[in-house]
């Protein structure tokens, strides 16, 4: 039997290449914008590169894994990494809870309240991060903010304590992130056959039971997508932390990896250490992305 007999027909091979032809322009642009910066980031992380090397007074030397050894030997790095993981997990959990709850609520209210809620959510989503952070700082200001007056907290400063500052930033991150989850999940719910929801209602299922036993299993591919996206976005939070805690809080108590890398690279002029932190973050997010793609592929196979 000839080898050519096992080859797929030419039409099938051509159709398999068609998606890549459509993606080619975007891939070229993304490669041009990302590959060279990533290359430079990795290169600097292996060098001795500080302000002295930038100014040309001292020649650049190769350190190999020395920057990574110094970074991994610094207890602050592990503290900041743990704080970043816990903070991102809390942000993702809050975003999913608020977004999914409001998505279910949108299916239960009338057209006018639904439109108002959608517009308010999209307004929060469209607000730039630095603008939203500034507004939240004004709302929770100990002297002039209305929140402390409503809660009877007096001159309590939210940004003074470590956990209260993280809680304030967390609320702002959830506020600007939940609209994507809400809109995406709401669209998924509207695609669920109405007969399924009516059957659950006839069986006397509560809203929570309907979500847990009916909607959540059917919306699993969508929930996987928004969860992984939220993990990637919340792991990279920079603006909210930097603005609302004035660069990482008192004595760096509110540092996350992005802000920590910024402080090392630009505040301390240790560009090689800042680059090493960037490479570590890149590898962590790459791992999350690979999990995301694998889950997407598995979900597609299950649907087939």
Going from N- to C-terminal start, the domains of the chain cover 68-303
Instruction: Give the residue, 176 or 18, on which the prediction is more confident.
Output: 176
Cα distance between residue 42 and residue 22, in whole Å: 30
Residue 270 carries which DSSP code? B
What span, in angstroms and rounded, lies between the C-alpha atoms of 62 and 49? Answer: 9
| pLDDT at 1 (0 to 100) | 45
**Distance from C-alpha of 137 to C-alpha of 286, rounded to nearest angstrom:** 33
- Indicate whether 14 pLDDT > 80: no
Q: What is the per-residue pLDDT for 12? A: 52
Examine the pLDDT at 8 and tell me if it is beyond 70: no
Interval 59-69 mean pLDDT? 89
Q: Residue 9: pLDDT band by 50, 70, 90 thresholds?
A: low
What's the CA gap between 47 and 62, in Å, rounded? 4
H helix or E strand, kind and range, residue 48: strand 47-48
Average pLDDT over residues 237-249: 92
Per-chain mean pLDDT for the chain? 87
pLDDT score at 50: 84
- pLDDT of amino acid 11: 53
pTM: 0.84
Q: How many CA atoms lie within 13 A of 86 on its CB side?
A: 11
Residue 253 and residue 164 in contact, taking contact as beta carbons nearer than 8 Å: no
Cβ neighbour number for residue 18 with a 10 Å cutoff: 9
Provide the 10 A C-beta neighbour count for residue 161: 16
Name residues whose C-beta falls within 8 Å of residue 18's C-beta, 6 or more positions apart in sequence: none
3 to 6, 7, 8, 12, 110: CA distances (angstroms): 6, 7, 11, 17, 64
| pLDDT, mean of residues 8-26 | 72
Q: What is the pLDDT of residues 127-138, one digit of tens each?
A: 999 999 999 999
Q: How confident is the model at residue 181 (pLDDT cuts 50, 70, 90)?
A: very high
Radius of gyration of the chain (CA): 24
Paired tokens of 164: 């209260």
**Distance from C-alpha of 43 to C-alpha of 67, rounded to nearest angstrom:** 11
For the domain covering 68-303, report its CATH number. 1.10.3720.10
Structure tokens, 104: 């279910």
Confidence class for position 15, pLDDT limits 50, 70, 90: low
Q: pLDDT tens digits, residue range 71-115?
A: 999 999 999 999 999 999 999 999 999 999 999 899 888 999 999
Handedness of CA 285, 288, 294, 297 (dihedral sign): negative
**Averaged over 145-171, what is the pLDDT?**
92
Mean per-residue pLDDT, 15-24: 82
Percentage of the residues of the chain whose pLDDT score is greater than 70: 93
Q: Are strands 47-48 and 61-62 parallel, antiparallel or unpaired?
A: antiparallel
């Amino acid at each position: 039997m000839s080898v050519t007999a096992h080859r797929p027909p030419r039409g099938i091979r051509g159709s398999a290449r068609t998606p890549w032809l459509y993606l080619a322009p975007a891939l070229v642009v993304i490669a041009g914008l990302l590959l060279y910066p990533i290359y430079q980031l990795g290169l600097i992380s292996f060098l001795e590169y500080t302000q002295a090397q930038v100014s040309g007074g001292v020649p650049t030397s190769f350190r190999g894994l020395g920057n990574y050894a110094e970074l991994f030997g610094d207890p602050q790095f592990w503290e900041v990494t743990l704080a970043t993981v816990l903070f991102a997990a809390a942000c993702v959990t809050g975003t999913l809870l608020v977004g999914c709850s409001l998505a279910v609520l949108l299916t239960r209210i009338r057209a006018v309240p639904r439109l108002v809620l959608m517009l308010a959510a999209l307004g929060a989503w469209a607000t730039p991060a630095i603008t939203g952070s500034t507004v939240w700082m004004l709302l929770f200001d100990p002297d002039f903010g209305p929140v402390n007056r409503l809660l009877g907290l007096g001159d309590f400063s939210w940004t003074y304590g470590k956990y209260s500052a993280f809680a304030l930033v967390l609320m702002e991150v959830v506020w600007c992130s939940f609209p994507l989850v809400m809109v995406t999940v709401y669209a998924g719910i509207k695609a669920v056959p109405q007969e399924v929801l009516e059957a659950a209602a006839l069986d006397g299922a509560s809203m929570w039971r309907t979500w847990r036993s009916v909607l959540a299993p059917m919306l699993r591919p969508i929930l996987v997508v928004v969860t992984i996206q939220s993990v990637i976005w919340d792991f990279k939070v920079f603006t909210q932390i930097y603005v609302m805690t004035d660069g990482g809080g008192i004595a760096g108590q509110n540092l996350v990896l992005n802000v920590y890398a910024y402080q090392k690279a630009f505040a301390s002029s240790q560009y090689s250490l800042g680059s090493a932190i960037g490479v570590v973050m890149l590898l962590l997010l790459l791992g999350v992305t690979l999990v995301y793609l694998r889950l997407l592929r598995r979900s597609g196979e299950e649907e087939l």
